[in-house]
Amino acid sequence: MEGALKLASPPVTSFETLGLHPLILRAVREVGYTEPTPIQSAAIPHLLAGTDIIGIAQTGTGKTAAFTLPMLNRLTDHTPERRSTRALILAPTRELVIQIQENIVAYARHLPLRVATVIGGVSESPQIDALRQGADIIIATPGRLLDLMARRHGDFSGLKFLVLDEADRMLDMGFLPAIRDILRSLPVQRQTLLFSATLPREIEVLTRQIQRTPKTIQIGRRANPAETVTQRIYEIPRHLKLNLLAHLLQDQKLSTVLVFSRTKHGADRVAKKLDQIGIRTATIHANRSQNQRQRALSDFKSGDVRVLVATDIAARGIDVEGISHVVNFDFPPHCEDYVHRIGRTGRAQSTGDAFSFATPEDKEAVWALERFIGRSIPRGKADGFNYSAPDMTGAPQRPQRPGSGAAPTRPSPPRNNPGRPQNRFKSPVSRRR
């Protein structure tokens, strides 16, 4: 990969000096951004110059504006000869697609550009209509877009700009074949941007195939969770996790809380328990319809419910201002998930807390995570919580290995997962989704 650009402390600059169009600058001021974030000041000049970019940055860094602002600029600079889509953004989840669309609509409020989304789980006819009318910018999940393209919807013959957002997540979700199929129908002469929190080998291979001498822009340490987030681990037996969550929510008066569950059923269980004790809770996971998800998000955003329980995949793209706490009810099975999860709080300039519950079975995952982020996470004890309450759930007790506590004591070598090429950024803990 050419021209790696690693910025510990990028140059301080203003939006005005980045060379953006006055109508875009006006919109940026109106949405309240006063100065560019590090990834914006690093990426925008290259993108305006037409360079391909690999952006290694976690969510919460302002990466969406980093690619959408120069994209809008370039679309504004060139008047199209015909009605073809000129910018295509592929993202892993419907929520992220909608989030990107909302950002683009805000930044393009003074520009005569048409924006459309193409996502699964909702009726396709409005999407087909939008494609027929011609959209300058399409934001899509790969599956539905491929489906529509296979039926000859959309005109991408004039495409100038392709963005793959959260590429590692699209890989995880099995979208790579669909992405390759889509790419086969796109013009080769274009600017290609790829954003990813990590760079697994498959993604590196993809970048070599689809980009031209890309510049790599990496903001901060690859795995560094946002500095504005205070992290704490609560070591807790499995059967007490629900009680501890209820205790923290009641005792510490946590206000806007995003709770992560590893599974859909787990998420429902948590919500049921909290509802039982009078804490209104919304859930968002793959078994919920698009309408139910939107409703859960808007109730959470408006403050009607103060707790949102989500699975990792469903939570992608959740962008809610002022999440005060992220609770990892289930310890993240995967180090990158931890970074993504806690990046939901402490967004942009505000601060937040991330609490992670770790059972004795999570010992190895805790150790792997601390190695991944390069520091140990302080342990917390909840005041007034009964840690010795017996297990009344009737669940079979797991035999504990001698000395297995949640606190990691010694490093153990990573285990290889035979199903996947080895990736040094992956936790040694196997995935369970």
Closest CB to ligand AMP among residues 62, 142: 62
Q: How many residues does the chain have?
A: 433
Q: Which residues touch 374 (CB under 8 Å, ≥6 apart)?
A: 221, 223, 224
Kindly give, in sequence order, each residue whose CB lies less than 8 Å from that of residue 358, ignoring residues fewer than 6 positions away.
Answer: 233, 234, 235, 236, 331, 365, 366, 406
CB of 316 to ligand AMP, least distance (A): 11
CB closer to ligand AMP out of 94 and 347: 347
Q: Considering the rule CB under 6 A, would residue 36 count as an interface residue with ligand AMP?
A: yes
Per the CB < 8 A criterion, the answer to whether 329 and 260 are in contact is yes
Instruction: Residue 182: name the closest of 134, 219, 220, 149 by CA.
Output: 149
Residue 220 as a binder of ligand AMP (CB under 6 A): the answer is no
Cα dihedral 18, 19, 21, 23 sign: positive
> In whole angstroms, what is the distance from residue 359 CA to residue 321 CA?
30
- Torsion (CA) 69, 73, 74, 75 in degrees, nearest 10: 100
- Asked if 37 interacts with ligand AMP (CB under 6 A), we say yes
Question: Closest approach of Cβ 121 to ligand AMP, in Å?
Answer: 22
On whether the CB atoms of residues 140 and 104 are closer than 8 A, the answer is no
Q: Rounded to whole angstroms, how far apart are CA atoms 411 and 408?
A: 8
- Residue among 63, 144, 241, 363 that touches ligand AMP (CB under 6 A): 63
Residue 60 CB, shortest distance to ligand AMP, in Å, is 5
Is residue 345 near ligand AMP by the rule CB under 6 A?
no
Smallest gap, in angstroms, from Cβ of residue 229 to ligand AMP? Answer: 13
- From 347, 359, 369, 406, residue interacting with ligand AMP (rule: CB under 6 A): 347
Tell me which stretch binds ligand AMP (CB under 6 A): 35-43, 142-150, 196-204, 249-257: 35-43
Encoded tokens for 12 = 């301080």
Of 53-61, 83-91, 274-282, 293-301, which segment contacts ligand AMP by CB under 6 A?
53-61
Q: How far is the CB of 265 from ligand AMP (least distance, A)?
A: 29
**Sites for ligand AMP among residues 300-339 (CB under 6 A):** 319
Per CB under 6 A, contacts with ligand AMP among 277-306 are: none
Site string for ligand AMP, 396-415 (x = CB under 6 A): --------------------
88 three-state secondary structure: strand
Please report whether residue 166 would count as binding ligand AMP according to CB under 6 A.
no
Among 64, 73, 207, 231, binds ligand AMP (CB under 6 A): 64
* Tokens describing residue 25: 């600058």
* Amino acid sitting at position 287: N
* 309 in Cβ contact with 317 (< 8 Å): no
CA distances to 212, 267, 304, 382 from 310, rounded to whole Å, are 38, 6, 17, 23
Query: Is residue 218 close enough to count as binding ligand AMP by CB under 6 A?
Result: no
Q: Which residue, 61 or 93, is less far from ligand AMP as judged by CB? A: 61
| Residue 62 found at the interface with ligand AMP (CB under 6 A) | yes
The nearest distance, CB 90 to ligand AMP, in angstroms, is 16
| Residue 33 near ligand AMP by CB under 6 A | yes
Q: Residues in the site for ligand AMP, rule: CB under 6 A?
A: 33, 36-37, 40, 59-65, 319, 347-348
